[in-house]
Amino acid sequence: MGWLSRTFKPDADHAGTAGPDAGGAPPVPPVPVPDPTATAAPAPATSGPSASTAAAPGPMGRYGPLVCVTHFDTAAPELEWQLPLNGELYRLIPGSDRPDYSLLVLDRPLHFYPGEGFDLGRVEADQQVQDRKGRTMVRVHALLLCARFVGQQLHPGMTDLAVNLAYVIDNSLARDAEVDFGKIEFAGIGFLSEGHAPRADAAPAAPSGQPSAATEPEPAPEPLADSVPQPSSEAAPEPVPVIESETESALETETEPAPAAAVGAEATTRHTSSEVLDDLARTLRQGIEEQRGAPVQRLTAALTIDPDLRLTGLSGNADGQAPVPTQETFGRLAEVLGRLDEVEGSERVAAVTLRVDGDDVSHEVTGTHR
């Protein structure tokens, strides 16, 4: 993993700064610099290119390798409008579930609409901004990412490597020895490439009272304004938060009332996506408790689901530990996911966050298949 360990050591003029953002944003805190003479631990074997492969060094920034997220598989609409996401790989951070999380410091801050139930107390006041319509957005300066598929890892020369992405909502994560899942929030699934990608010529409309990007190009080094530019009506529909509440899901489609004779026959088999996803949370919690032999009081789990309603990813936090259930639980989870076939439109669910707090169970759909 030496390719990701070339952490830049700030000189006296730059001590205490971290992150290339030039807009006065909170810097990512510095971290201890590895001793260049120390022997690095051997990297785990992977099916992809090895980090120690003898190849010409890729493009490097002040802090580490230059990379970019050029497109998404699953993400909120407001993230699509801010592509490409250029930045530098700052350091590796092990997690309780895997050792190879990477901190990506962004060249420009990223903004997202917090979903219903998101606790704004988790972020500093200066990270809370408003769009032109007065809706709250959260500004972040870094992402935490890891290869999406087992056996893959970040490597020199990578192109469109599938990665899981999370917002870093607390910059102190950069100083932590291990990933604190309370300092991140699931963002989506994207594709990472080495190097930086050029920004699109057609920029979103500027906030009210500022020159329009259509008539005056936005300087590349400048950070996004506090009021995040939004696309004009010609470019895209009006932004809406992508994360849905537990009682009102955009995936649930109203249907015509069934004939009276049929209601009794179908009442026992019809489900709503809200009921199914809440049951998914209860099933996962039970499986974790069986694995630990102890009750779980608080659970936050991010699940990814393929178009065939099969579970493809699981991460999160259960009472401060990784949410690891018994092997038998995965079969029960598959059975619960299969019930989404009975709900019109729910086959589009691609990512969901499940939450359990005592007896309270909730969920948020964070991504859909196109």
Strand order in the sheet with 360-368: 311-318, 298-305, 349-357, 360-368
Closest to 31 (Cα-Cα) out of 183, 140, 146, 176: 176
Sorting pLDDT into bands at 50, 70 and 90, what band is 175? Answer: very high
| Cα(105)–Cα(51) distance, integer angstroms | 20
Give SS3 for 192: strand
Res 346: pLDDT: 61
Q: Which residues contact 365 (CB under 8 A, 6 or more apart)?
A: 243, 244, 249, 250, 251, 273, 277, 349, 351, 352
The CA distance from 141 to 105, in Å, is: 6
What is the arithmetic mean of pLDDT over 38-46? 38
Name, in order, each residue with C-beta under 8 angstroms of 11's C-beta and a sequence gap of 6 or more. Answer: none
User: What is the DSSP code (8-state) at residue 341?
Assistant: G
In whole angstroms, give the CA distance from residue 271 to residue 254.
13
Tell me the residue type at 274: S
Q: Quick: pLDDT tens for 50-63.
A: 333 344 567 998 88
Are 112 and 167 in contact by the 8 Å Cβ rule? The answer is: yes
Are the beta carbons of 18 and 28 closer than 8 angstroms? yes
Above pLDDT 90, what percent of the chain? 39
Q: How far apart are CA 362 and CA 275, in angstroms?
A: 10
Report the chain's mean pLDDT, rounded to a whole number.
73
Express the helix, strand and coil content of the chain in percent, nearest 5 each: 20, 30, 55
Cβ-based neighbours of 5, under 8 Å, separated by 6 or more: 34, 40, 91, 92
Quick one: average pLDDT of 248-254? 36
Answer whether residue 87 shows pLDDT above 60.
Answer: yes
Rounded CA gap, 1 and 44, in Å?
Answer: 9
The torsion angles phi and psi of 329, rounded to 5 degrees, stand at -65, -35
Using only C-alpha atoms, the chain has a radius of gyration, in whole angstroms, of 22
Predicted confidence band of residue 310 (pLDDT cuts 50, 70, 90): confident
